[in-house]
Amino acid sequence: MGTSLQMTWQKNLLLKRRKKPNTSPPLGLKNLGNTCYLNSVLQCLSYTPPLANYCLNNHHSSHCPQSGTGNCPFCLLEKRIIRSLTLDFSIDAPSKILSCVNIFSPHFRYGRQEDAHEFLRFVIDACHNACLKINKNSSIVRGIFGGKLRSQVKCCDCGAESNKTDDIMDISLDLFQVTSVKDAMQRYFQQEVLNGTNKYHCDNCEKLVVAKKQLAILKAPNVLVIQLKRFEGIHGGKIDRAIAFEEGLLLSNYMCKESQDPCPQYNLYGTIVHSGYSPDSGHYYAYIKDAMGRWYCCNDSFVSISNLQEVVSEKVYILFFARSNQRPATNQITLRYDWSGTSALQWP
């Protein structure tokens, strides 16, 4: 029996684990020297409801053979998230996770500024691998962030289709000539004609042909992370213009016809903003929505109350969305209702 994935905050669990009242703001994270990238990512992960619920239950560490050795990235993250959600202070130093930063990625160095998105990817991958060490067929990390993209190429001569499916943990969007996240999504999923020097080799026709290529979502993730590629401007500079986005996001236009999940809906719960000119300089800070639905700006140790208007006015770099409607049951995922009536998802 798999463990269930709780998409909404388990407030009773939070109350039980937390000594401070529910009205207190998120814990500020001290900057230990160029660690704003790490602080911002940790804040957003701590306020990812299904991950927070899982950590507050000690689900990972209670099954992990490496628990207590200090060598497991997920055990480290679990401890960090529990501290963030339960400590009585207003500021904490993420020294433990920072001193072990090379457990997530060997090339990360204490004291050096890094790209927040790169760090997030390493944390997610490292924790995913830690899950697979316990059970090679089950990963909470994939259950939370994982989705599937299908790439279809169709030969314009014979009509033969070739399909390829890729597992994804996030989506990175190009910003060239784009003014909103919606635009960028549309471009990402729009049909592309493979022609000229870009012709496609059709196995059926046994020659290079003009073909149409299209990406579509085969499995929508429970938590959708979107990176805006601000650091890939044509001249190598940062794309610093405002990119509009909204609190709600629909994936209906980008789903595969075969997916049986026609309209995944999402709500924003976190963002990471970068100010400055390159990913490894400048400054990162985060916005998160707490269990009560209040927005906060988490700028290292400085935490201040915010609101949606302020959140959407920022030039964001990374967006975190959680599904607000449930992924339909398939043979891989079964639905379960817990005692409180909150729906939960299961994975094998």
Q: Residues in the site for Zn ion, rule: CB under 5 A?
A: 64, 66, 72, 74-75, 155, 157-158, 160, 202, 204-205
Instruction: Please answer whether residues 14 and 82 qualify as being in contact, where contact means their C-beta atoms are separated by less than 8 angstroms.
Output: no
In the bound complex, what is the minimum distance in angstroms from residue 163's beta carbon to Zn ion?
Answer: 14
**Using CA atoms, how far apart are residues 296 and 270, in angstroms rounded to an integer?**
9
In the bound complex, what is the minimum distance in angstroms from residue 87's beta carbon to Zn ion?
Answer: 21
| Active site residues per annotation | 36, 283
Residue closer to Zn ion (CB basis): 74 or 317? 74
Residue closer to Zn ion (CB basis): 151 or 267? 151
**Using CA atoms, how far apart are residues 78 and 52, in angstroms rounded to an integer?**
8
What long-range pairs does 300-306 form, CB within 8 A, spacing at least 24?
A: 300/28, 300/29, 300/30, 300/31, 300/35, 300/36, 300/39, 301/28, 301/29, 301/30, 301/31, 301/91, 302/28, 303/25, 303/26, 303/27, 303/28, 303/90, 304/25, 305/25
In the bound complex, what is the minimum distance in angstroms from residue 86's beta carbon to Zn ion?
Answer: 19
**Residue bearing tokens 């939370």:** 144
The two tokens of residue 147 are 């989705």
Residue closer to Zn ion (CB basis): 60 or 327? 60
217-237: b (≥16 Cβ within 10 Å) or e: bbbbbbbbbbbbbbbeeeeee
Residue closer to Zn ion (CB basis): 31 or 58? 58
Residue closer to Zn ion (CB basis): 46 or 271? 46
In the bound complex, what is the minimum distance in angstroms from residue 274's beta carbon to Zn ion?
Answer: 30
